Structure 1
Amino acid sequence: MDKTTKKIGLNGLLEILLVSTRLGLTSFGGPIAHLGYFHEEYVRRKKWLNEKDYADLVALCQFLPGPASSQVGIGIGAMRAGVLGGILAFVGFTLPSVLALIIFALVLQGLQIEEAGWIHGLKLVAVAVVAHAVVGMAQKLAPDLQRKAIVLIALAATLLWQEAFTQVGVILLAGIAGYILYKEQKKSDHSPLSFPISRKLGAICLTLFFGLLVALPLLREVFSFNWLAMMDSFYRAGSLVFGGGHVVLPLLEREFVPSGWLSEEQFLAGYGAAQAVPGPLFTFAAYIGAVISGWQGGLLATFAIFLPAFLLILGALPFWDAIRRNPHIQGALMGVNAAVVGILIAALYHPIWTSSVLKPIDFVFAAILFSMLTYWKLPPWIVVLTGAVGGIVLFSL
């Protein structure tokens, strides 16, 4: 495959949009499930790329911050038809859940949701979902004592120093620790890959990514525009999240709840609703934006939180071969992934557990929801519906 945009024609571009939209309407279950859906559709059915190329693309997106499944979808679209293919693949996969969550936010406006029993049920769903993610990630990402220690330190630091940039510092220090502890990783043996993205365009995207990360906070201090502040907060959240959608929860919560942009009840109601829709969990940002500034705010939030993912995947694709062959980078990533587990456990305790599990019956119901996800393997939308109905019942007791 050469590094110029593939000329697949209008029908080919429309096919990318239609296939990704179908995935956006049916892909329940979180990022790992999304990767399974992508594999079935793009590798087995459409044969747009082979097993090896798909595995390499997934590895790259696991390395980058941001929503891994969304970045894989963007990458497949870009490998198929360049930048426009990546945009169409993203729009199809993301738009259904964005529209659903914006509508949900607008319906909630003016309602006393703090007093609704189903909201309490959705909070308990959040307990079950994040606990489920913690168990799975801890087994995979922290199997040895060194990484278990990184998990514990990250957990303690995130809970005891709840500052805006605590997570960034924790991830940075964990990367350094991983570099030191695992620098003797065996060098990977990969065959070269080629993408229809030039190194020049990749460099421009990476420069823009870092430039916005620095410029937006400065502009926010100079100009007191609400939309600029929202753009900065969502862009920073999308830039600094390792580990997928669940880890964005504490970043967004600390950006918007303490400052009074929305209440904790509104925040957790949206988080529960985000579990009930297909597609990427990062579309939770659309709900927050819509609560703050209507449907326009929802679209701005979606653009801002996914923009880093776009810039990073398009920027990194041309340089991926050099990155993935470096054993030092692999070691640093092992430390970062362990820290992600600690940050997720901290989020499970606060704000989720502390605002949801108030009585023994709440714990029992959360355990039932957790079992439905973990042991009975029920679809997330069934768990969400059960949580909402159960919350109404608990509230009436």
Structure 2
Amino acid sequence: MTTTVYSPQSKNPEQGAVVEVLLVFLKLGLTCFGGPIAHIGYFRDEFVTRRRWLDEQAYADLVALCQFLPGPASSQVGFSIGLMRAGYLGGLAAWTGFTLPSAIALVMFAFGAPLLGGPLGSGLLHGLKLVAVAIVAQAVWGMARTLCPDRERASIAAVASVLILLSTSSVVQIAAILLGAVAGLWLCRGAPPLAAGYVTIPVSRVSGLAALAIFSILLAGVLLVPAHSSQNAFDLFAAFYRSGALVFGGGHVVLPLLREAFVTPGWVSDDAFLAGYGAAQAVPGPLFTFAAYLGAVVKLEPNGLAGAALGLISIFLPGMLVLVGMLPFWGTVRTRPGAQAAMRGVNAAVVGVLGAALYNPVWTTSVKTPADFAVALVGFVLLVAWRAPPLLVVTVSALGGVALALTAG
């Protein structure tokens, strides 16, 4: 038994090859700079606009679902796309391709790869941050045109943005999406019904319930067992799994949890933690791969390569389990008229969340001068008007950042 979800532009998704999924996500894993919000923009450009593996509505629904769940939202979206395209192996291939490049880079750094220094290095890093501005702006622009075509949904998006901008709590993001669902039930029932068409999700309800059961049992285990059980491997697994299971929003939100889990008990020094965090900003892919660095440098055993592998798997596992558990039920619920109205509101709220993120932290941490804005604007025009591939935009923005640094020096 499989579950189906809406996507009229997808044809015979079951024919998608695992190797195809792996190669596409490997390219993204090598080029997706800018954090989870930017990743959502990259994915949209690759799978909605270019490859048409799914349409705007199905993609927005996936993003909304993953925003609800604990774990790394962008990695969950990528895993879902791979799952739709080529089954469980496709989901694993998507996760592997998107995750390994940054994990390998951070493990290399843990073993002594030097940090970039001087104006050349700082300029390169700054240019990569400016890429995120262009990518997120493109995502907001494209999704707003499709998902906020009327005043009701535009208003929902605006309210969601205001809520996010007025608060620094990650809980507010979830609240904004929930309010979007309620507003959708009230305001969006008059919208035209969704067109027919489906993408196959090869997850049965039995498999979904099993995944939720495993997630809950493991979470109960790591919460009930003392934080320091003298079983080093289990302690490490518990620290990573707990962090991955209890964080909503992904990305930077997981860092305070990891710091509490590793620096407070003295497993990793504060200097080493901050150095790894700095390196994590310089690599593409999901920020959750910071766990590979921590697993490599932690004072407990296993560490090194074994610790990196343990950290990487443990921190991603809870988010993937809860995602697989929810996917089959989400597909059924969303076909009901009330659910469709709620999802219209949720999708509009997601646009608002993206819009707020475009300002803070993407804009506020990247655009400091008119020259910075010029580099970001060039990237945006390349993406939107010229439909340039993201790799070209990354290259142009990185070179722009280097040029700005050298000029300032």
TM-score (norm 1): 0.71
Residue 77, structure 1, aligned to residue 80, structure 2: no
1:245 aligned partner: none
Measure the CA separation in 1 of the matches of 2:60 and 2:163: 28
Alignment of 1:95-106 (within 5 A): 95-106=96-107
Measure the CA separation in 1 of the matches of 2:348 and 2:377: 25
Measure the CA separation in 2 of the matches of 1:319 and 1:173: 18
CA gap 1:156/1:37 in 2 versus in 1, 3 angstroms: closer
CA gap 1:345/1:57 in 2 versus in 1, 3 angstroms: closer
2:327 aligned partner: 316
Measure the CA separation in 2 of the matches of 1:347 and 1:188: 28
Measure the CA separation in 2 of the matches of 1:130 and 1:186: 28
Q: Which has the higher helix share?
A: 1
Picking from 203, 223, 227, the partner of 2:227 is: 223
Aligned partner of residue 401 in structure 2, secondary structure: helix
User: Which amino acid in 1 is paired with 2:288?
Assistant: A
Q: CA deviation at 1:262?
A: 5.5
Q: Deviations over 1:100-132 (max 9, x none)?
A: 111222344564557522111111111111111
Q: CA deviation at 1:395?
A: 0.8
Aligned partner of residue 211 in structure 2, secondary structure: helix
Alignment of 1:193-272 (within 5 A): 197-208=203-214, 211=216, 215=220, 218=223, 223=227, 228-237=238-247, 240=248, 248-249=250-251, 251-252=253-254, 270=280
Gaps in structure 1 of 5+ consecutive residues: 4-12, 44-50, 79-85, 242-247, 275-280
User: Which amino acid in 2 is paired with 1:223?
Assistant: A
Q: Deviations over 1:36-63 (max 9, x none)?
A: 59967xx8xxxxxxx9xx9998687466
Residue 300, structure 1, aligned to residue 311, structure 2: yes
Residue 342, structure 1, aligned to residue 352, structure 2: yes
2:301 aligned partner: none
1:68 aligned partner: 77
2:9 aligned partner: none
Aligned partner of residue 383 in structure 2, secondary structure: helix
CA gap 1:347/1:186 in 2 versus in 1, 3 angstroms: closer
Measure the CA separation in 1 of the matches of 2:328 and 2:57: 10
User: Which amino acid in 2 is paired with 1:100?
Assistant: P
Gaps in structure 2 of 5+ consecutive residues: 3-13, 32-40, 67-72, 229-234, 264-269, 297-304
Picking from 280, 285, 288, the partner of 1:285 is: 288
Q: CA deviation at 1:292?
A: 3.2
CA gap 1:90/1:332 in 2 versus in 1, 3 angstroms: same
371-380 or 102-111, larger mean C-alpha shift? 102-111
Residue 367, structure 1, aligned to residue 371, structure 2: no
CA gap 1:216/1:354 in 2 versus in 1, 3 angstroms: farther
Aligned partner of residue 158 in structure 1, secondary structure: helix
Q: Is the 8 A contact 1:213 1:235 kept in 2?
A: no
Q: Is the 8 A contact 1:122 1:268 kept in 2?
A: no
Picking from 331, 335, 351, the partner of 1:325 is: 335
Measure the CA separation in 2 of the matches of 1:366 and 1:39: 25
TM-score (norm 2): 0.69
Residue 22, structure 1, aligned to residue 31, structure 2: no
Residue 354, structure 1, aligned to residue 357, structure 2: no
Q: Is the 8 A contact 2:79 2:92 kept in 1?
A: no
2:11 aligned partner: none
88-97 or 179-188, larger mean C-alpha shift? 179-188
Residue 32, structure 1, aligned to residue 44, structure 2: yes
1:8 aligned partner: none
Q: Is the 8 A contact 1:34 1:69 kept in 2?
A: no
Aligned partner of residue 386 in structure 2, secondary structure: coil
How many residue pairs get matched? Answer: 349
Measure the CA separation in 1 of the matches of 2:117 and 2:356: 24
CA gap 1:358/1:348 in 2 versus in 1, 3 angstroms: same
Q: Is the 8 A contact 2:48 2:59 kept in 1?
A: no
User: Which amino acid in 2 is paired with 1:352?
Assistant: V
1:135 aligned partner: 141
Alignment of 1:149-188 (within 5 A): 149-184=155-190
Q: Is the 8 A contact 1:120 1:356 kept in 2?
A: yes
User: Which amino acid in 2 is paired with 1:22?
Assistant: L
CA gap 1:138/1:192 in 2 versus in 1, 3 angstroms: closer
Q: CA deviation at 1:214?
A: 7.4
Measure the CA separation in 1 of the matches of 2:177 and 2:23: 35
Q: Is the 8 A contact 1:57 1:72 kept in 2?
A: no
Percent of paired sites with the same residue = 27
Aligned partner of residue 104 in structure 2, secondary structure: helix
Residue 90, structure 1, aligned to residue 91, structure 2: yes
Measure the CA separation in 2 of the matches of 1:154 and 1:56: 19
Q: CA deviation at 1:361?
A: 1.1
CA gap 1:213/1:332 in 2 versus in 1, 3 angstroms: farther
CA gap 1:91/1:312 in 2 versus in 1, 3 angstroms: closer
Measure the CA separation in 1 of the matches of 2:146 and 2:58: 19
Q: Is the 8 A contact 1:117 1:395 kept in 2?
A: yes
Aligned partner of residue 394 in structure 1, secondary structure: helix
Q: Deviations over 1:16-48 (max 9, x none)?
A: 5434333334567822344359967xx8xxxxx
Q: CA deviation at 1:333?
A: 0.9
User: Which amino acid in 2 is paired with 1:133?
Assistant: A
User: Which amino acid in 2 is paired with 1:353?
Assistant: W
